Amino acid sequence: MKLIGKTICLALLVYCAAATANAQAADSAAPGTNEPRVALADAAQVLDAAGRLALEARLRTTALTATPDAPTRNVLIVVTNRSQFFYNYVSGYATFYDGAGVRCGEGLFKLEAFAPNEASEVDTPGLRLTCAPATWRVSALNLLTRATDVAKPEQLAPPPAESLPAVSPPRTNLTAAPPRLEININGRTLPLQLGNPLEIVVGQERMRIVVSPAP
């Protein structure tokens, strides 16, 4: 039983060690950054947040043999805008590594009004390079585009206006002049006026006639 237990423990240790090694290998192989290291003669590339190529940089200064006692204080790089956007402001770091992969210097660069496919030579003030670097990379701090180039969320169309019933224009109360009225009694024509009574005698009876407009 003790032998079986030791065998199981040994197998678990081997499995854990293999899993750890595989995980480390996967981490080192996976592109976990948008700024991979490249050789000094190669172009360093930067991807934007959407994974698209944004910048490409090449070293203009080639003599890089610094030491801790005699550090290099500045280098020149040529940065190219490989995106389709116009950048109002670009800033980032050029970082250098020795043969063992240890960082030995970084310098800040800045650009303004950077058009697509435009290349610009910039320096890296603040650099303190203390080694003869073997690799380098460029990382972007700011990639500020014009407001017209920023992708905007879809704007919902305004709801249609509620259809209101057509309102007919108010009628103008125009009072037409009443027509001229007459009454004919046995060949005798008498004028009539609305609202004014007319009295006639029929036989021995006096009759009162009033003409008024119908309601």
CB under 8 A, 24+ apart: contacts of 208-211: 209/183, 211/181
Q: Which amino acid would we find at residue 204?
A: Q
Instruction: Identify the three-state secondary structure at position 16.
Output: helix
| Domain assignments of the chain as residue spans, ordered by start | 32-149, 181-210
pLDDT of amino acid 211: 74
Least Cα distance to 93 among 174, 37, 155 occurs for 37
Tokens 């490249």: give the residue: 38
Least Cα distance to 40 among 131, 108, 122 occurs for 131
Burial of 37 (0-12, 13-18, 19+ CB in 10 A): middle
Tokens 């310098």: give the residue: 107
Q: What is the DSSP letter of 147?
A: G
Each residue's pLDDT expressed in tens, for the chain with a length of 215 residues: 444 555 554 555 544 444 444 444 333 333 345 689 999 999 999 999 888 999 999 999 988 989 999 999 999 999 999 999 999 999 999 999 999 999 999 999 999 999 999 999 999 999 999 999 999 999 999 999 987 765 444 445 566 666 666 666 666 655 566 667 777 776 767 776 766 776 666 666 767 777 777 76
Q: Which amino acid would we find at residue 156?
A: L
pLDDT of amino acid 180: 72
Least Cα distance to 90 among 70, 108, 64, 63 occurs for 108
Q: Which residues pair with 57 in a beta bridge?
A: 44, 79
Q: CA 66, CA 63: separation in Å to the nearest integer? A: 9
Phi, psi of 141 (to 5 degrees): -90, -40
pTM beyond 0.75: no
Which CATH number is 32-149's, of 2.60.120, 2.60.40, 3.40.630, 1.25.40? 2.60.40
